[in-house]
Amino acid sequence: MPIAPGQWSFTRWTTIGQLEALQVNHPLFSARLFLQGAHLTHFAPSGHSNWLWVSESARYETGRAIRGGIPVCWPWFGEPAKNAPEVRRRIVAMKAHGFARTAVWKLEDVRESAQTVEISLSLDANRDFQGLWQGRCRALITFRFSATECQLALTTTNADSQALAFSQALHTYLPTPDIANTKILGLEGAHYIDTLDQWQAHTQNGPVTFSGETDRIYESDGPLRIVTPAGTQLVSSSGSDSTVVWNPGPEKSIRLSDFPTLGWQNMLCVETANAANDYQVLNQGQSHTLALRLGKE
């Protein structure tokens, strides 16, 4: 059972549209976290704007993924057919990005201090999901907010007697005043798969810049700097050797759900992942943690 409200100093239950969320109003920062999808849509140090991009067309409806923030793509990333056979053979639902982002997670804990708030939620992927996926595992995600950082850690534990192969991503949407004057530093020389070029392998030459639809899976585990005209966002990770970089560009934006036609000019996704060949395999009882740390320069 979730901890009864009223025991918290900075955290309150709220309802946005059809969805329940935890609203954190701490003297040093604010955050909004939905039970559906364990979906973070807002984090900002006091006096600052949201570090995350959220579509102005986003809809807050039961069973519908929220466009923006940090969707949790789990227990598979991307289209099922584009996953390794060991991952693909477990997938029943032919939809992208798994089912965690539209499932209701269980609130495990809220811990508050003068400097931080930590919130943990869990999802038991058991027989209730057998129409979507053939596996039995548990996800525990912990958010840690402070005046300078937003941290996420997603731990998957295999509860099945058989080995579990899965892929995943923390699908972070970041804002920018102008995508044409935005670049990502830290991927220079990295190999990547260009999903828009028949999934061919390429090597990154210089910073990543944007001149239209971009959808790439980079081999990378290092810290990244996202330099925009409004400032520089820092993204670092652990438990991940792949980073997905995505901007839909003008054409795909028209086809995307809950996405404003010109929204592509003011956002990019830098996704901390275990995607493509970076999928994970766990034996019974083993765990893996995918962690993300957002900061500002």
Binding site for ligand TA6 (CB under 6 A): 65, 78, 96-97, 171, 215, 244, 246, 256, 269, 271
d(CA 218, CA 185): 13
CB nearer ligand TA6, residue 48 or residue 199: 199
Residue 288 beta carbon to ligand TA6: minimum distance, rounded to whole angstroms? 20
Residue 235 beta carbon to ligand TA6: minimum distance, rounded to whole angstroms? 15
Residue 163 beta carbon to ligand TA6: minimum distance, rounded to whole angstroms? 26
For the chain, how long is the longest CA-to-CA vector?
54
DSSP string, 93-140: S--TTBSGGGSBPEEEEEEE-SS-EEEEEEEEESGGGTTTB---EEEE
Residue 242 corresponds to which tokens in the numbers above?
Answer: 């792949």
CB nearer ligand TA6, residue 142 or residue 172: 172
CB nearer ligand TA6, residue 117 or residue 244: 244
Residue 245 beta carbon to ligand TA6: minimum distance, rounded to whole angstroms? 8
d(CA 30, CA 45): 6
CB nearer ligand TA6, residue 69 or residue 239: 69
246: nearest Cα among 186, 189, 169: 169
CB-based closest residue to ligand TA6: 246
Residue 292 beta carbon to ligand TA6: minimum distance, rounded to whole angstroms? 14
Which three-class secondary structure state does DSSP give residue 142? strand
Which three-class secondary structure state does DSSP give residue 264? helix
Residue with tokens 């795909």: 252
CB nearer ligand TA6, residue 42 or residue 171: 171
Residue 69 beta carbon to ligand TA6: minimum distance, rounded to whole angstroms? 11
Residue 257 corresponds to which tokens in the numbers above?
Answer: 């759900």
Residue 256 corresponds to which tokens in the numbers above?
Answer: 């995307």
Which three-class secondary structure state does DSSP give residue 200? strand
CB nearer ligand TA6, residue 78 or residue 175: 78
